[in-house]
Every structure is written in structure tokens, then in C-alpha cells.
Amino acid sequence: STSKRISLVNAEISESHMDKKSYAFRIKPRNHRRAFYIHAENELEQNNWMQAICFAKAAGRLGDNSQACVLQ
């Protein structure tokens, strides 16, 4: 199986109302044409996913620079 990764370096993470789906959010990597849309089952799951992704982004490092995360 081939695994793929979504770069979180300078990525924007925001709620999304695409296709009028509730509990969806978008990850848009910097310098990448594609945006990734993720749909959760409920608001709690959506918040947990967005927070976990934000923490992973903040924990990632390039050299000595940590990545700040802002949920929009």
C-alpha cells in the first residue's frame, strides 16, 4: 500500500462548508495547488481532528523553527 502525506509546513487549517457538509474542514498546504477536505461525524470529532493536526503542525520543526498554528 502506498502512503501519502499532507505537508503541514505553513499550511492553513480552516472550517469548510463545501457541499454544505457539516463538520468539514480544509487543509491547504503552502505552495500547493491542492486543498484537502476532511469531513468528521460530529462537531466534537471535527474539533479533535483540527486540534490534533494543529498540535502536529506546531510540533513539526524545520531546523530550530517551530510552526505556529492558527485555527480559522
Per-residue pLDDT at 63: 47
27 occurs within a structural domain? yes
Q: Tell me the helices (H) and strands (E) count for the chain, helix number first.
A: 1, 5
- Count of domains observed in the chain: 1
Per-residue pLDDT at 64: 47
pLDDT of 49 strictly over 90: yes
**Phi-psi category of residue 39: left, alpha or beta, with phi > 0 → left and psi -120 to 50 → alpha:** beta
1 occurs within a structural domain? no
pLDDT of 40 strictly over 90: yes
33 occurs within a structural domain? yes
45 occurs within a structural domain? yes
52 occurs within a structural domain? yes
Q: Could you give the percent of the chain with pLDDT greater than 70?
A: 82
3 occurs within a structural domain? no
38 occurs within a structural domain? yes
48 occurs within a structural domain? yes
Full residue range of the structural domain in which residue 19 is found: 12-66
pTM above 0.95? no
User: Alpha-carbon Rg of the chain, whole angstroms?
Assistant: 13
